Structures are given as C-alpha cells and as structure tokens.
Amino acid sequence: MLVGSACTPVADGSASGPPERTLTVFAAASLTDVFRTWGAQFAEQHPGTTVEFAFAGSSALAEQLAQGAPADVFASADQATMDRVVADVGVADEPVVFARNTLQIAVPPENPAGIGSLDDLAADGTTVALCAEHVPCGAASRAVLDAAGVAVDPVTWEEDVRAALTRVRLGEVDAALVYRSDVVAAGGDVHGIDIPEAAAAVNDYPIAVLADAAEPELAQAWTAFVTSPDNAKVLDDAGFLLP
C-alpha cells in the first residue's frame, strides 16, 4: 500500500487539505515492480491519495472481481482475461493495451543444468517450473512449447509468473518459463535465455476502469498515467515491449 500526502493541521486544531481517497488497482503479478514505482509517483501527484494494489495471476484476479471483490482498475497480462472481466464485471471504457511481453527461459546465474534452449527443458533429470495453464503466463508457455514441439513435464505448476520465478531464484528448479520483464526485475538473481519460439505467444497487457469503480475519476487519472507516452521508457527499461 502506498500512502499519499496527509492533511495539514490549522490553528483551530482541524485539518485542511484534499480529501483522503483510496484507489484500488488489481494487476497482473508481472506488473508488480513497475506499478509499485508508479503508485508512489501517482500518490505524490494526487495529494490525499492512497494507492492499494492486489497483484496475482490475472485469472485469479478476474475470478475475484466476478465474485464481487471491490476494485477501481484492472490490468491484465493478456487480452483473453480482460475479455472475461469485460463480460462478467463490466468496464467504463474500452480497455487500452499499454504494454506487451514475451517469454524467456529463466535459469540460475551459473546455469548448472547447462540449459540453452526449450529442448533442454525436456531432458531427463531437468527440473522445470511452469505457470498453470489457466493463467496468462501458462497459456503463453503452452503456445511456445507447442510451437517448438517440446513436451515438458514440470515438477511444479505455479499460480502466477512471480511464483515460477521464485523457484529459480531459490534454486529449487533448474529453469522456468517467465516473462522477459520478470527476468529484468530479478536483476542478477537469474539469467534469461532468449528463445525464438517466444514469437508464438506475445501477450498484450490491457488496462481498464471497472464499471462499478468507487473512485471513477481517480481511476481514469491512473489509466491515463499508465498509458502516457512519458512512461514508455519505464516499460522498456523494465523489459516490456511497447504496443
């Protein structure tokens, strides 16, 4: 949770300043680092504002929204999940794609298993973490593996891409398929291996204000901030592709 400016006391003991408001943003796990940074900046630009985030697999967030979880904005890691939210929950305006992402193989820095391609993920004794296929990174992984004609039997199915990445960071698996942006976010904790088959699954990241947003004006301001051309370099530096 990121907190904006507090009210300023005046002589009679009361408080003056902008009203305190909370913006609730549901966002794909792969957006965690970029959105936290932007949340702090947004709160500074909108005194009295608190930005609260819920980060998880896009499909899990969509299910929470369908069950009535309150939120103002939804940002998904693929168009299909956004389409579900549009149908089940409703949005105030047409979703806008603000970023794209592709997969890499993430391995420990020393790459002890000597992995260099998707074929290596299917080798005997190689331990691999994949995202569950009902979440966007899992669907993308399936498309990439199918394009390569490679069958991988993972030792674990994770509910979001950050969980798969964590398995590599902790040395619990030899490799995982994750987004490029997650490899960048991990810094030197992992090494990313480009795969030509990644072109088979390029995920769009749409964002939309939800139809029942409690803070519609603030939500519109957030989506305008996220989609601003001024933030394109931030996305690029974080490993995302621009739409």
Q: Residues comprising the binding site?
A: 30, 58, 161, 179
Say how far apart CA 137 and CA 142 lie, in whole Å. Answer: 9
Say how far apart CA 241 and CA 231 lie, in whole Å. Answer: 12
Say how far apart CA 191 and CA 183 lie, in whole Å. Answer: 7
Q: How far is CA 232 from CA 79, 86, 215, 219, 238, in A?
A: 20, 25, 25, 19, 10
Binding site residues for molybdate, as ranges? Answer: 30, 58, 161, 179
Nearest to 24 by CA among 6, 42, 8, 7: 42
Burial class of residue 170, CB neighbours in 10 A (0-12, 13-18, 19+) = exposed
Q: How many CA atoms lie within 13 A of 1 on its CB side?
A: 7
If residue 192 lies in a helix (H) or strand (E), which one and from where to where? strand 191-193
Q: State both tokens at 190.
A: 């992992």
Paired sense of beta strands 2-3 and 49-56, if any: antiparallel
Say how far apart CA 219 and CA 215 lie, in whole Å. Answer: 6
Count the residues in the chain. Answer: 243
